[in-house]
Amino acid sequence: MVTQITAVPKLYIGIDIHKRSWKVHCATDLFSGKSFSMDPNPEQLKDYVDKHFADHEVVTAYEAGCCGYSAHRCFESYGWSSL
């Protein structure tokens, strides 16, 4: 019998976006996640996701404000769903 993958694993990322730093929380369907702070750099977050969650579909959510619009455009350009 051949095993087939029928569902794509999902990564959910919640971000508190500020001008000088981001507070990030990552979770999947299987674990409650990890929180960390990082520089306000979408490419740095993409590198983290590519390294640790390469096979996951990514959904991001954050409170939009004056510092979030460019990040949203970057997330969408990565193929991520951004709320």
Confidence of residue 67 (pLDDT cuts 50, 70, 90): low
- Look at residue 16 in the predicted model and tell me its pLDDT: 92
Q: How many domains, in total, are found in the chain?
A: 1
Q: Is residue 65 over pLDDT 80? A: no
Which CATH number do you get for residue 22?
Answer: 3.30.420.40
- Residues forming beta bridges with residue 75, ordered by sequence position: none
Say what the pLDDT of residue 1 is. Answer: 75
Over residues 45-65, the mean pLDDT reads: 92
pLDDT tens for 40-53 read 999 999 999 999 99
Query: Which domain covers residue 41, as residue numbers?
Result: 10-82
| 56 and 9 Cβ atoms separated by less than 8 Å | yes
Could you tell me if residue 33 is left (phi over 0), alpha (psi between -120 and 50 degrees) or otherwise beta? left
pTM: 0.87
Tokens of 47: 């590198």
Q: Are strands 22-28 and 34-38 parallel, antiparallel or unpaired?
A: antiparallel
Q: What is the pLDDT of residue 64?
A: 67
Report if residue 1 sits inside a domain: no
